[in-house]
Amino acid sequence: MTPSDSSTDMPRRAPLPRLPGWLLMPSLAWLGIFFFIPLLLVLVISFAARGTYGGVEWTFSLANYATLLDPLYLTIFVRSLALALGTTAFCLLLGFPLAYYIARAPLRWQGIWLLLVMIPFWTNFLVRTYAWMFILRTEGLMNTVLMNLGLVASPVEILYTDGAILIGLVYGYLPFMVLPLYAALARLDYSLVEAAWDLYASAWNVFWRVILPLTKPGVIAGCILVFIPSLGAFITPDLLGGARTMMLGNLIQHEYLVVRDWPFGSAISFVLMALVLLGMMVYLEVDRGRGDGRRPSVW
Residues 238-257 that bind other proteins (CB under 8 A): 239, 242-244, 246, 249, 251-257
Q: Reduced to 3 states, what is the DSSP secondary structure of residue 153?
A: coil
Burial class (CB in 10 A: 0-12, 13-18, 19+), 88: buried
* Interface of this chain with other proteins, residues 182 to 201, rule: CB under 8 A: none
Binding status of residue 259 toward other proteins by CB under 8 A: yes
Sole binder of other proteins in the list 81, 92, 98, 201 (CB under 8 A):
98
User: Between residues 122 and 200, which has the closer beta carbon with respect to other proteins?
Assistant: 122
Binding status of residue 179 toward other proteins by CB under 8 A: no
| Residues contacting other proteins: total by CB under 8 A | 111
Binding status of residue 278 toward other proteins by CB under 8 A: no
User: Between residues 218 and 275, which has the closer beta carbon with respect to other proteins?
Assistant: 275
Q: Reduced to 3 states, what is the DSSP secondary structure of residue 20?
A: coil
Q: Reduced to 3 states, what is the DSSP secondary structure of residue 50?
A: strand
Question: Least Å distance between CB 30 and other proteins?
Answer: 6
Dihedral of the alpha carbons of 89, 94, 98, 103, in degrees to the nearest 10: 10
* Interface of this chain with other proteins, residues 102 to 141, rule: CB under 8 A: 102, 104, 115-117, 119-120, 122-135, 137-141
* Side chain identity at residue 292, one-letter code: D
Question: Least Å distance between CB 258 and other proteins?
Answer: 5
Q: What DSSP state is assigned to residue 57?
A: E
d(CA 284, CA 182): 19
Which helix H or strand E contains 270, and what residues bound it? helix 262-288
User: Between residues 217 and 268, which has the closer beta carbon with respect to other proteins?
Assistant: 268
